[in-house]
């Protein structure tokens, strides 16, 4: 079966997971990226601030098919069907717990050897931070729309999102994914970023510790971040970086421009 659902427990917290394996290629399809025997890593996928497994839609399967690799997708605490979030707003340094406790716990428990980290938005920030704090573990990082410092455009985008949540049916649409955790997961996003101390948050000084190859992608119409996020990551990261701005794309490149993302990933993986 290409898709299997399971859960893991880390320090008493249950996290929902899904494993997506490559489907047999279609006769006319290009072959997936080739890996030496026993050298094929797992891609660990990290969702955005409001994300769940289902909200990736068909992209994990497309990514698995394109790369020939298994994708392991998981829901962070407080998201989807994982255990609830206990503290809202979250601490300014909440990314550290996500890397040191949960992501490292998942990688260790699943015995993943040199995985590729694929993150979107908050998930991309967590992937980059993990690569900085555990530089010998990931084989590579693929970052979509990461934040490594706080911009006015980000705060403005979050304020607009809060107004939209209060005045439209967005909550009811999110309830299909987060169920009775919907209000909490939304507050865990907007209230955390609204904290006065959060304006000073940054991880730029950690970027030089990243030594694995990194692919940095962002849309040129992203309402939550400027291209300064991309150039800052590119200019400060310690390892080799491939950076690409996707034209006509907003904050969710893997859904808005999936072909561009997959092509970039394929070229990136072909380099090592």
Q: What is the DSSP letter of 202?
A: B
**Polymer length in residues for the chain:** 272
Q: Which residues 6+ apart lie within 8 Å of 49 measured at CB?
A: 121, 122, 188, 189
Q: What's the N-to-C CA distance of the chain in angstroms?
A: 29
Any idea of the CA torsion for 37, 111, 95, 187, to the nearest 10 degrees?
110
Phi, psi of 118 (to 5 degrees): -120, 110
The per-residue pLDDT for 1 is 61
* Burial tier of 69 (Cβ tally within 10 Å: 0-12, 13-18, 19+): buried
For the entire predicted model, the pTM comes to: 0.96
Q: Which residues 6+ apart lie within 8 Å of 3 measured at CB?
A: 18, 19, 20, 21, 61
Going residue by residue through the chain (272 aa), what tens digit of pLDDT does each one get? 699 999 999 999 999 999 999 998 777 677 777 676 568 999 999 999 999 999 999 999 999 999 999 999 999 999 999 999 988 999 999 999 999 999 999 999 999 999 999 999 999 999 999 999 999 999 999 999 999 999 999 999 999 999 999 999 999 999 999 999 999 999 999 999 999 999 999 999 999 999 999 999 999 999 999 999 999 999 999 999 999 999 999 999 999 999 999 999 999 999 87
The per-residue pLDDT for 39 is 81
Indicate the helix (H) or strand (E) that contains 124.
Answer: helix 122-133
For 150, 155, 195, 270, the CA distances from 198, given in Å and listed in that order, are 8, 10, 5, 38
Residue 156 CA to residue 152 CA, distance in Å, equals 6
- Whether the Cβ atoms of residue 105 and residue 10 lie closer than 8 Å to each other: yes
The per-residue pLDDT for 24 is 85
Render 152-172 in DSSP notation, one character per residue: HHHHHHHHHHHHHHHHSSHHH
């Amino acid at each position: 079966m290409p898709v299997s659902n399971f859960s893991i427990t880390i320090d008493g917290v249950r996290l929902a997971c899904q494993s997506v394996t490559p489907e047999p290629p279609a006769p006319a399809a290009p072959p997936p990226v080739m890996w030496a025997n026993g050298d094929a890593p797992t891609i660990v996928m990290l969702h955005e601030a409001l994300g769940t497994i289902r909200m990736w839609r068909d992209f994990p399967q497309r990514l698995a098919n394109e790369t020939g690799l298994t994708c392991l997708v998981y829901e962070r605490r407080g998201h989807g069907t994982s255990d609830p979030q206990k503290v809202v707003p979250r601490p300014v340094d909440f990314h550290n717990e996500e890397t040191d406790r949960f992501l490292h716990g998942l990688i260790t428990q699943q015995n993943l050897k040199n995985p590729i980290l694929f993150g979107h938005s908050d998930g991309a920030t967590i992937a980059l931070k993990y690569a900085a704090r555990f530089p010998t573990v990931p084989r590579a990082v693929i970052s979509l729309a990461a934040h490594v410092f706080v911009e006015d455009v980000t705060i403005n985008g979050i304020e607009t999102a809060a107004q939209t949540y209060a005045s439209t049916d967005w909550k009811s649409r999110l309830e299909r994914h987060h169920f009775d955790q919907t209000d909490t997961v939304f507050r865990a996003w907007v209230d955390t970023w609204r904290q006065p101390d959060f304006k000073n948050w940054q991880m730029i000084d950690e970027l030089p510790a990243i030594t694995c190859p990194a692919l940095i992608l962002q849309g040129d119409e992203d309402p939550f971040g400027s291209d300064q996020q991309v150039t800052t990551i590119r200019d400060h990261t310690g390892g080799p970086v491939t950076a690409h701005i996707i034209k006509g794309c907003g904050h969710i490149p893997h859904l808005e421009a999936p072909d561009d993302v997959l092509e970039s990933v394929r070229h990136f993986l072909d380099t090592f």
